[in-house]
Structure 1
Amino acid sequence: MTFSALFLRRLSIALLTLVLGLSTAHAGISYSLLENQATPGETVTVRAILFNDGSSTLSWTPPQSLVMQWRGKDSVTRSLAQLQNPRQAVNVPVNNFVIFNWTAVVPTALTGIQAVSVEGAPDLFALDTSRGDPNPLLASLAETPIVDAGAAAAGEKQDPVLNEQRLRAVGAAAVTPEYGPSVTQSAHTPAGTSAFENFRNAISLYEPIYFVLGNRPETNARFQLSFKYRLFNPTDPTQDSFMDHFYAGYTQTSLWDLSSDSLPFVDTTYNPSVFWYKERMWDSADNRFFVGLNTGVEHASNGKDGDDSRSLNDFYLQPEFAYRFDGGSTLKFSPRVKAYFAMSENGDYPDYLGRVDWKVSWAQDNGLKLAGTYRQGHHGRNSMQLDASWPLQRLYSGMNGYLYLQYYRGYGETLLGYRYKSEPQLRIGLALVP
């Protein structure tokens, strides 16, 4: 094995470990109250930030009204907040967020400090409904000493006052027994946190990640890892810009011989790419039908030299046509058209695998996913791959991953042996990303 191949293999193992550690994804919504003081009859603004930290575009339609709860000392009042802008569905790209605003009138019966919440949400806010300007909560000093909260000795009725030694320890924050730090003081961020968060927010999953086993002609395994990295952070998360959709991608696929004495790798394809991708460039009025685009340039090689060296370069264009069914499933057709260049080592590759990857998939929400890829070369040469996955949590509650089946026949299962027509092969195993 050459040094470059060994280096790429070790690098791919490290990258797989990193991707698996960062692959937990979620999306959610957080509410806040923009004002901290408003008298009864005045209007306040409820803001929601819808964030998407998942692996695909998030679709959501905001409610026209929110139910607000106002809790005072002796009463609870409920009222409605109304959406400021016309109600319509939004599509939030991965690692982006969208802001919504509702307006609510402070009920006339309220007095004093109110604990305010959006019914059904965990967020809690405080609103001072006292008449007068400025807000007494902000303008008045609390003429009491700072106490050492929670540190009272057994039997004491109150927390002890923070002693001088403790005050000196926090003196850099300008804390005194009577007054806290300046409001202009900036918070300290631990070194390295920002860089890691930037990386965490930019990396996401790309193609399927799986490990499957087969036995033709002998016991073997095929596995793949894949991720993409967003190259530009959104300058305005509320506005979708062209530059927000540039990515660097990496996919690696290996065929592993498990029957020979040394358990050698038959071949590995290293596939870096740079591309522009947007899942929804156009939506129908009812959001059932949408069109996306993936286009870029990619390189593929097997990291070997001499007669076993293989490499490909191509520009590709992949439109994606998708339809969303009422039952909670999506059908997608996404042909990838390729224009090859700089292929001196294996210029006849298109004769075996063609210039178009015909891809189709159908996926239930949190359920069965079926996918197929077909390639047509010259003189009857072709290849076909079929994939099926089923979430293991549907079989046993609490399990992660997917039961994965893969069927392959035809040419090009490995880059090294693209001229060889492999036997039909059915493999089964585990997928982390189907």
Structure 2
Amino acid sequence: MQTTKTQRKHPFLLAAPFIVLGAALGTAQAGVNYQLRQVHASSGESVNIDALVFNDTGSLMTWTAPRNLVLQWRDNAGNVVRSLAELETPNRQASIPVNNFTAYSWRAVVPNGLKGLQAVNIEGERVMLALDTNSQGNSPITSTPAVAAVVDAGASGNPRSPDPALPAAQVAAAGASEHGPAINSGQGLRPATSSFENFRNAISAHDPTYFVVGNKDGNNARFQLSFKYRLHSPSDPNNPRFYDHFYLGYTQTALWDLHSDSKPFVDTTYNPSLFWRKDSIWESEQKSVFVGLATGYEHASNGKAGADSRSMNDFFIQPEFNYRFDHGATLTFAPRVKHYVFMGENDDWADYRGRVDWRLRYAQDNGLVLSGLYNRASQGRETKEISIAWPLKRTPLNMNGYLYGQYFSGYAETMLGYRERSPGQFRIGLALVP
């Protein structure tokens, strides 16, 4: 496909279809938010209490999780039983960056002799949780449908009732039924999601997304858009199946000449892919070391015809070795090994970009991100790319995104000129995903 004059003069037209991929994040609240993972458990069974610790202060926050939570179990007769919940998260102390959170979990056993609905209080916290301890299948709350008709608030006919009558049309439109479903049945409890919500939940970051500018040999810019789309959403997020890890990926990279009169694109690379990816296929007992894997097929093309046409196809495998630091950062070593196929147009690609990309990345939680790429091809041809990112939320600008710097030196910065060595150049700009 030949690049049009409109595309050369208006590069953001190429990016416009992807702007809708952004999704807003909720505002974090300071403090600790507790919740029971289960809604039903009988005496002697285990339950989990999960907590999210938020930091919306103006500086790094250190939080130490207690080894045990003291629980009070209260029934509707006023009886109180006390027990302990034991911390399961391996690291007690966390350094939480500004506008970030960390998660903890404690395990408790439901005390013997408890019956009915229990109010669970964490001593020292203004928290009240609820758990149904009736035997499975016999609970009037969580295991069986309501047999009596559901009465709407304000429907008693009492003119002095403080409850307003529910609009019948709105109740019907919401899909309400005459009798309530059982909580454990899952009927009617999962909120209906729109097509856009389903689409947004399946979209996630892939490679970095950024816009950077430099001025070596004239003003120029490089920008990249990247995302991946999950083909199957797991019915049980805690136990995804093998095929739940398949993704479609898309990355688009462009080099833009800002020095020439017409401000043309030098070249644009379109890079779709199909791959299987799992962040952790093995992890240590303390979960500080874990290994992920990505493998699949990718195609890259500059979308041009004739003598300017370039394309690349490869099967790749990328193991990812991760180490999680106690202070809230992850170090990742991820070599990508490629086997090229269908390389009729430019079968000497490997002579300039090699067959292995050596990738190293250090990322603090909502903090500094450092990443590097190195490959070596025939006759000592080397390519290096180094980037650094810092969240703008932690600057006086208090903006979303990252301040982003990138250094590139080597071959195939563009597909069109992959045989030409690009001299070292540093560019700076904005990253949405570093």
Name the TM tier (shorter chain).
0.7 to 0.9
**8 Å contact 1:271–1:300 — kept in the other structure?**
yes
Q: Which runs of 5+ in 2 are unaligned?
A: 53-64, 92-104
Question: Using the alignment, how far apart are the partners of 1:145 and 1:341 within structure 2?
Answer: 65
State the one-letter code of the partner of 1:80: S
Residues 1:352 and 2:359 aligned together: no
Aligned positions, number? 394
Question: Using the alignment, how far apart are the partners of 2:306 and 2:172 within structure 1?
Answer: 68
Question: Using the alignment, how far apart are the partners of 2:7 and 2:386 within structure 1?
Answer: 31
Residues 1:289 and 2:289 aligned together: yes
Residues 1:407 and 2:413 aligned together: no
Q: Which runs of 5+ in 1 are unaligned?
A: 52-61, 91-98
Structure 1 residue 197, shift from structure 2 partner: 3.4
Match of 1:182 among 161, 174, 179: 179
1:33-77 CA deviation, whole Å, 9 max, x = no partner? 6359x9xxx6686456899xxxxxxxxxx9985443456899795
Question: Using the alignment, how far apart are the partners of 2:349 and 2:408 within structure 1?
Answer: 18
* Structure 1 equivalent of residue 337 of structure 2: 337
Question: Using the alignment, how far apart are the partners of 1:396 and 1:80 within structure 2?
Answer: 47
Q: 1:351 to 1:104 in 2, by over 3 A?
A: same
**8 Å contact 1:116–1:127 — kept in the other structure?**
no
Q: 1:79 to 1:342 in 2, by over 3 A?
A: same
TM-score when normalising by structure 1: 0.73
State the one-letter code of the partner of 1:104: V
State the one-letter code of the partner of 2:180: V
* Structure 1 equivalent of residue 154 of structure 2: 147
Q: 1:140 to 1:211 in 2, by over 3 A?
A: closer
Residues 1:198 and 2:195 aligned together: no
Structure 1 residue 256, shift from structure 2 partner: 0.9
Name whichever of 234-243 and 205-214 sits farther off: 234-243
TM-score when normalising by structure 2: 0.73
1:280-325 CA deviation, whole Å, 9 max, x = no partner? 2222233232222211110000111111111000111112222223
Question: Using the alignment, how far apart are the partners of 1:295 and 1:401 within structure 2?
Answer: 29
State the one-letter code of the partner of 1:181: E
State the one-letter code of the partner of 1:20: G
* Structure 2 equivalent of residue 278 of structure 1: 278
* Structure 1 equivalent of residue 98 of structure 2: none
State the one-letter code of the partner of 2:82: S
State the one-letter code of the partner of 1:334: A
Partner of 1:419, secondary structure, is coil
**8 Å contact 2:150–2:179 — kept in the other structure?**
no
Question: Using the alignment, how far apart are the partners of 1:210 and 1:32 within structure 2?
Answer: 38
* Structure 2 equivalent of residue 225 of structure 1: 225
State the one-letter code of the partner of 1:262: S
Q: 1:342 to 1:384 in 2, by over 3 A?
A: same
* Structure 2 equivalent of residue 211 of structure 1: 211
**8 Å contact 1:174–1:181 — kept in the other structure?**
no
* Structure 1 equivalent of residue 110 of structure 2: 104
Name whichever of 195-204 and 120-129 sits farther off: 120-129
* Structure 1 equivalent of residue 241 of structure 2: 241
* Superposition map of 1:25-424 within 5 A: 30-31=35-36, 34-35=39-40, 46=47, 66-69=69-72, 79-80=82-83, 82=85, 87=88, 102-105=108-111, 115-118=119-122, 124-125=129-130, 146-147=153-154, 158-159=161-162, 162=165, 181-183=178-180, 187=188, 193-396=193-396, 398-424=398-424
1:369-407 CA deviation, whole Å, 9 max, x = no partner? 111111212223221111111111222374211111100
Q: 1:145 to 1:241 in 2, by over 3 A?
A: closer
Question: Using the alignment, how far apart are the partners of 2:428 and 2:162 within structure 1?
Answer: 63
Question: Using the alignment, how far apart are the partners of 2:431 and 2:169 within structure 1?
Answer: 56
Question: Using the alignment, how far apart are the partners of 1:268 and 1:408 within structure 2?
Answer: 16
State the one-letter code of the partner of 2:201: N
**8 Å contact 1:81–1:104 — kept in the other structure?**
no
1:84-130 CA deviation, whole Å, 9 max, x = no partner? xx95769xxxxxxxx9974333898x9x986444565866437799x
**8 Å contact 2:3–2:304 — kept in the other structure?**
no
Larger Rg: 1
Partner of 1:21, secondary structure, is coil
* Structure 2 equivalent of residue 13 of structure 1: 15
**8 Å contact 1:173–1:181 — kept in the other structure?**
no
1:310-366 CA deviation, whole Å, 9 max, x = no partner? 100011111222222333332222111111111111111111111111111222222
Question: Using the alignment, how far apart are the partners of 1:219 and 1:355 within structure 2?
Answer: 32
Question: Using the alignment, how far apart are the partners of 2:372 and 2:339 within structure 1?
Answer: 22
Question: Using the alignment, how far apart are the partners of 1:408 and 1:121 within structure 2?
Answer: 53
1:145-175 CA deviation, whole Å, 9 max, x = no partner? 95279xx9xxx96437749xx6698689999
* Structure 2 equivalent of residue 96 of structure 1: none
Question: Using the alignment, how far apart are the partners of 2:79 and 2:384 within structure 1?
Answer: 64
Structure 1 residue 249, shift from structure 2 partner: 0.7
* Structure 2 equivalent of residue 95 of structure 1: none
Partner of 1:347, secondary structure, is coil
Question: Using the alignment, how far apart are the partners of 1:139 and 1:235 within structure 2?
Answer: 26
Question: Using the alignment, how far apart are the partners of 2:397 and 2:312 within structure 1?
Answer: 43
Name whichever of 199-208 and 14-23 sits farther off: 14-23
Question: Using the alignment, how far apart are the partners of 2:150 and 2:376 within structure 1?
Answer: 82
Name whichever of 424-433 and 225-234 sits farther off: 225-234
Structure 1 residue 214, shift from structure 2 partner: 0.4
